[in-house]
A = this chain, B = another copy of it.
Amino acid sequence: MIGDYSERLIVQEVSPRDGLQIEPRWVETADKIALIDRLSLAGFSRIEAGSFVSPKAIPALRDGEAVFQGLTRQPGVIYVALVPNLKGAQRAIAAGADELNLVMSASQTHNRANMRMSCEQSLQAFRDVVTVAGETRLSLNGSVATAFGCPFEGAISEDRVCALVDHYLELGMTGISLADTTGMANPRQVGRLVRRVLERLPAAQLTLHFHNTRGLGLCNVLAAYEAGARRFDASLGGLGGCPFAPGASGNICSEDLVNLCDEVGIDTGIDLSLLLELSRTLPALLGHDLPGQVVKAGRNCDLHPAPNFDA
């Protein structure tokens, strides 16, 4: 059932971080900065602009400091940095990030694979970050990866996810992200979990991070919006793959999401034309095609000339 679409949907653009992090081709610092600056001009109010992880682990983003220091800040735009630990947080704070995003998995096995520590060790490390960030103006966001399923463990209990959300809030984080890291969520599950989590914090503090791995990314956005969620991660061109499924999509595509919103009448504040123009620059920058659909098909309003019937 289609509900009330009158409230704005906030798209947090993650291509500069979650998109670029697994690209094999090096993207020059100046190109990263140009991308972020053009994204801010297209109307995004939140951009995950980089990460402060070990350069050995994520060489593609080893220039985080230079990126944050080089971008042209637009008023009202929040530039987010992903940080794995205290050292990363200190680097991000020094580089001028507005918000720190901390990630751990609801799945122990996935957290060990991704972070090389147990969930308990992750939470302990977050305490140190909270202490340091508490002395600054920065806000903190806690992401729960594999919140809708784990590629190693399978189903993740909703009680487990809710307990982690409670833990994050107790630690003092103001933002919470629920991430469908490998695209296992379905709309029914999404509606149910979003309603449970929104009993714990206001919609303005909750972000949903969906992948389109099995083609359900935008279905899940609609289900979450209809359950009350208002903020969603998305990536220009759908940049950012799925490490477990070569050829499958990863992040939902920003311009496809904005197009959906435009078509059903949900305001995003984002200029789709500018976004499509920017998306068209990606294949040359990265050396490969991207999964975004609207950039290939055009908008509904891009009409085709009628064939000449006399020919």
A positions within 8 Å CB-CB of B: 1-3, 5, 109, 112-113, 116, 149, 151-154, 182-184, 186-189, 191, 212-216, 218-219, 222-223, 226-227, 242, 244-249, 253, 256, 259-260, 263-265, 289, 293-294, 296-298, 300-301, 303-307, 309
Find out whether the CB atom of B245 lies under 8 angstroms from the CB atom of A187.
no
Task: Please indicate the chain B residues that have their CB under 8 angstroms from the CB of A289 in the complex.
Answer: 247
Find out whether the CB atom of A223 lies under 8 angstroms from the CB atom of B2.
yes
Find out whether the CB atom of A248 lies under 8 angstroms from the CB atom of B2.
no
Find out whether the CB atom of A186 lies under 8 angstroms from the CB atom of B297.
no
Q: In whole angstroms, how far apart are the Cα atoms of A296 and B213 in the complex?
A: 9
Find out whether the CB atom of B303 lies under 8 angstroms from the CB atom of A152.
yes
Closest 10 A-B residue pairs measured CB to CB? A186-B263, A245-B297, A248-B297, A215-B293, A248-B296, A215-B256, A188-B264, A152-B306, A247-B296, A213-B297
Q: In whole angstroms, how far apart are the Cα atoms of A119 and B306 in the complex?
A: 16
Q: In whole angstroms, how far apart are the Cα atoms of A264 and B184 in the complex?
A: 12
Find out whether the CB atom of A264 lies under 8 angstroms from the CB atom of B187.
yes
Task: Please indicate the chain B residues that have their CB under 8 angstroms from the CB of A298 in the complex.
Answer: 244-245
Find out whether the CB atom of B184 lies under 8 angstroms from the CB atom of A5.
no
- Main secondary structure on A side of the interface with B: loop
A226 partner, pick from B1, B213, B242, beta carbons under 8 A: B1
Q: In whole angstroms, how far apart are the Cα atoms of A285 and B20 in the complex?
A: 35
Find out whether the CB atom of A265 lies under 8 angstroms from the CB atom of B1.
no
Q: In whole angstroms, how far apart are the Cα atoms of A294 and B184 in the complex?
A: 11
Known: A2-B191, A223-B2. A215 touches B300 (CB 8 A): no
Find out whether the CB atom of B1 lies under 8 angstroms from the CB atom of A214.
no
Best-buried of A212, A216, A297 by chain B (most CB within 10 Å): A297
Query: Could you name 27 residue pairs across A and B whose Cβ atoms are closer than 8 Å?
Result: A1-B1, A1-B226, A2-B223, A113-B306, A116-B309, A151-B303, A153-B303, A154-B301, A154-B303, A182-B297, A183-B297, A184-B300, A186-B260, A188-B264, A214-B256, A215-B253, A215-B256, A218-B219, A219-B222, A222-B222, A244-B297, A244-B304, A245-B296, A247-B289, A247-B296, A248-B296, A248-B297
**Separation in Å of the A224 CB from the closest CB of chain B?**
11
Known: A2-B191, A293-B248. A151 touches B218 (CB 8 A): no
Known: A214-B297, A215-B218, A245-B296. 7 other contacts (CB 8 A): A1-B3, A149-B300, A154-B300, A214-B260, A215-B294, A216-B218, A248-B297
User: Considering only CB atoms, which chain B residue lies closest to A110 in the complex?
Assistant: B306
Task: Please indicate the chain B residues that have their CB under 8 angstroms from the CB of A216 in the complex.
Answer: 218, 260, 263
Q: In whole angstroms, how far apart are the Cα atoms of A118 and B226 in the complex?
A: 42
User: Considering only CB atoms, which chain B residue lies closest to A262 in the complex?
Assistant: B186
